[in-house]
Every structure is written in C-alpha cells, then in structure tokens.
Amino acid sequence: MIPFRLNPPTSYLFSVAFAAPVKLFGSTNDTLSALSLAASRAAALAAAFVAPFSDTFFQEVSGISAELSYDELKPLGSNDEIYYIPNSVTFPNLVLKRGLAPLTSEILNWCLRNVNSLETSVEVKNVVVTLMGNNFIPVMSWTFYNAIPVKWAVSEFNATKSELAIETIELKYSKMSYGI
C-alpha cells in the first residue's frame, strides 16, 4: 500500500548511487536484481549520512524525464480523424552536478576513463537516484540502466567571484524505472 501524502516531498534530500550491471550466466541483464537494487538504495541512504565523505553525493540532478514519440495515421477516406501510434521512447541526458571532486574519486576516474577513451568498449553502470523525506527515509527512487558518461565539465573560473568549482557529469542510459 502506498502511503497517502498531503504535500509533495521536498527535493533537497537526495542521493546518487552507482552500481555495476548484474551479470546472469555470462550475459549482462539490463535490470537490477532485487538484492542489488536494495544494496544500491541502502548505499544511497548511507551516503546521505556521510555526505562530506561520500563520492556519490551531488548537489543537483536534472534530466529525469521520458518522452514518447508517435507516428500519425490518417485513415483512407476520412479527413477528420487522426490516430497516433506509439513509436519510441527517448530520454534526455541525466545531468549530475557537485563540487569539484578530488582525483581519488572513483566516479570521476570512471567518467574520465570513458570520456577520454577512444576504445570501442565502454564501462557501463546502473545509477540509482533516491529522493528522501525529511526523516531520511526513501520516498522515491529512479534507476537508470546501462549509463555511460558522455560529457564531463568544470565550471568557469572567475577571480572576481567567490564561487565553488562545480563539476558536471552527463550520462546517457538505455532505460529508466522508478519505485520506492
């Protein structure tokens, strides 16, 4: 049973966890097993309590959406009817922003290995974004399957402003699911 909420949850308590895709019988399964998903969500919850020391804590996440495209079908002999047939689902890039990570960051090293590599093989990861309530209990989570980094950037440096150096990581992924 889904609990009834009077108000939408706040969006400032969230965490991001990275996990390797689950391999079953030598082939990569594009869905996480229940155990692996639970472990990823537990890691996300733990990251909220050790935020300053966590490599997976981000200050901003955007790009959580999906768009379904349709083909139009006009029946012969009818000028006033149009039918829409689902064609495909497209996902924008998942954009993660945080303060510039140290060189020991495993996520930064994963991104740079993939972005700087001209090899044909890339290292994919499943990404779990967990939104938590004020009591740090997960309210909603999104899982992004087979994510690969496509862009890594650092914000501009400006001597006239006192701002943090922000690191931006953009990921492409094959599909998305959500749940609690």
Q: Give the domain CATH number at 112.
A: 2.30.110
- 40: exposed, middle or buried (Cβ count in 10 Å: 0-12, 13-18, 19+): buried
CA–CA separation, 73 and 87 (whole Å):
12
Model-wide pTM > 0.85: no
Q: What's the rounded mean pLDDT across residues 164-175? A: 92
Q: Which residue shows structure tokens 């939104």?
A: 131
Q: What's the rounded mean pLDDT across residues 124-147? A: 86
Q: Does the structure show a pLDDT above 90 at 65?
A: yes
Establish if 73 belongs to a structural domain.
no
Establish if 34 belongs to a structural domain.
yes
Q: Does the structure show a pLDDT above 60 at 51?
A: no
- Domain with 37 in it: 14-65+92-179
Per-residue model confidence as pLDDT tens digits over 19-45: 777 655 554 444 445 555 565 556 555
- Residue 53 is given by DSSP the state G
Burial of 148-174, coded b for 16+ CB within 10 Å and e otherwise, reads bbeeeeeeeeeeeeeeeeebbbbbbbe
Establish if 53 belongs to a structural domain.
yes
Establish if 136 belongs to a structural domain.
yes
- Residue 103 is given by DSSP the state T
Establish if 82 belongs to a structural domain.
no
C-beta of residue 70 within 8 angstroms of C-beta of residue 76: no
Quote the pLDDT of residue 77.
Answer: 82
Q: How many domains does the chain have?
A: 1
Helix, strand, coil percentages (3-state) for the chain, rounded to 5, are 15, 40, 45
Establish if 114 belongs to a structural domain.
yes
Q: Does the structure show a pLDDT above 60 at 114?
A: yes
CA–CA separation, 75 and 152 (whole Å):
48
Q: Does the structure show a pLDDT above 50 at 171?
A: yes
Quote the pLDDT of residue 30.
Answer: 45
Establish if 86 belongs to a structural domain.
no
